[in-house]
Amino acid sequence: MTMLPFSLQALRSAVRREVETALVDGPARAGERPAGSGAGRRAGPQPARSVAAAPRRAAAGERGDGDFAGPAGDPGLFGIGSATWRVHGDLPSMLVGGIAALLLQTLHPLAMAGVAEHSAYRSDPLGRLRRTAQFVAVTTFGSTAAADRAIDRVRAVHRRVRGVAPDGRPYDASDPELLTWVHVSEVHCFLRAYRRFGPAPLGSAEGDRYVAEMASLARRLGASAVPETVAEVGEYFRAVRPELRAGAQALSGAAFIVNVGGRSLPPSTLAAASVRAVLVQAAIGLVPRWAATMLGLRQPLLAERLAQRAAAEALLGTLRWVTAPSPALVAARARCLAVPVSVSAAGGVV
């Protein structure tokens, strides 16, 4: 992809439509019940929402703002000034990093077997994206209690994901080693995406701080031997590579991600389809070269890389403009800075 078959203005317009479709209209258009909604929620078509409302509803995860708004003074798992707030606060780079992480994660046969046999990623890719985004938002910017609830829900789901992989080995999503693989893949790709496409440079010390902060979340989920520096992430990948395979499930999953298919995706215009293609190509550029080679992902020539990066930067800049500021981050910052109200033993407010 050396040239785009449309103008950058068309690209920017398509980004606005894609944000509204992906973050707002997906469940409603399909008549589905969003994750976390009540059982009595009415199914069927819902009124269209504005683009401005999209990131707010996505951050709230259809659960309201309570996960982010209180209690006063609660820093959550990370708090203001954390490297995690900085990296995860940039939705555009997180989106590209998330796609890259999904591609990389396919290479672990046991992890991919769990996804292939227990996930609706083919029939509901946008729903899976929303649920993942909700978990990241709540564990990053939510209150401590909200983050703990999200972690408990994920651990409960993991306990039900068990089976036998195509190679005959049993798998269990609660396996600490599998949890570590999924976690390290995400951290590596999120950090690399921020450094390539984020709004400001991130130094080596801040990168190590991000990895260490996220390691604490991985341990809460049940992971073990979690890397705590960027160098340890590299060491982890070198150690785990003999276990990785580009089997049929991995190749099928990666092809699905690259082709951006699925019944829940609406018909695409040329510009909208190209928006998705730009995001996917940007993500492929973040995947380690050895992993891309295993998955058969074509590595672009220099001229193509330059064109793809220019297209990605134009698209992500527009997406940053459409989605900023993050409502979750704004609410979380207000919560952290609020002064807790203490009550005396006599019942009076101090």
Q: Using one digit for the tens of pLDDT, what is the confidence trace for 12-47?
A: 565 555 554 544 333 233 333 333 333 333 333 333
Task: Give the containing element (helix H, strand E) for 81.
Answer: none
Q: Which pLDDT belongs to residue 34?
A: 31
SS3 assignment, position 65: coil
Chain segment 305-336, per-residue pLDDT in tens: 888 889 899 889 988 888 777 889 999 999 99
Q: Which pLDDT belongs to residue 5?
A: 47
Would 191 be classed as within a structural domain? yes
Least confident of 57-66, 206-215, 312-321: 57-66
CB neighbourhood size of 73 (10 A): 12
Would 104 be classed as within a structural domain? yes
Query: Among residues 14, 15, 25, which one has the least CA distance to residue 50?
Result: 25
How many domains does one find in the chain? 1
Amino acid code (one letter) for 230: V
Distance CA 263, CA 270 (A): 18
Q: Which pLDDT belongs to residue 109?
A: 98
- Expressed as residue numbers, the domain containing 219 is 8-24+50-337
Chain segment 149-197, per-residue pLDDT in tens: 999 999 999 999 999 999 999 999 999 999 999 999 999 999 999 999 9
- Residues with Cβ within 8 Å of 234's Cβ and at least 6 positions away in sequence, in order, are none
Percentage of the chain exceeding pLDDT 90: 59
Would 345 be classed as within a structural domain? no
Would 37 be classed as within a structural domain? no
Provide the whole-model pTM: 0.81
Distance CA 103, CA 170 (A): 22
Would 194 be classed as within a structural domain? yes
Chain segment 235-260, per-residue pLDDT in tens: 999 999 999 999 999 999 999 999 86
Q: Which pLDDT belongs to residue 63?
A: 45
| Residues 292, 173, 125: CA angle, nearest 5 degrees | 55
SS3 assignment, position 78: coil
Would 325 be classed as within a structural domain? yes
Helices (H) and strands (E) in the chain, counts: 17, 2
Query: Among residues 117, 146, 98, 159, which one has the least CA distance to residue 283?
Result: 98
pLDDT at 111 over 60: yes
Q: Which pLDDT belongs to residue 24?
A: 39
pLDDT at 209 over 80: yes
Would 344 be classed as within a structural domain? no
Would 287 be classed as within a structural domain? yes
Distance CA 88, CA 95 (A): 10
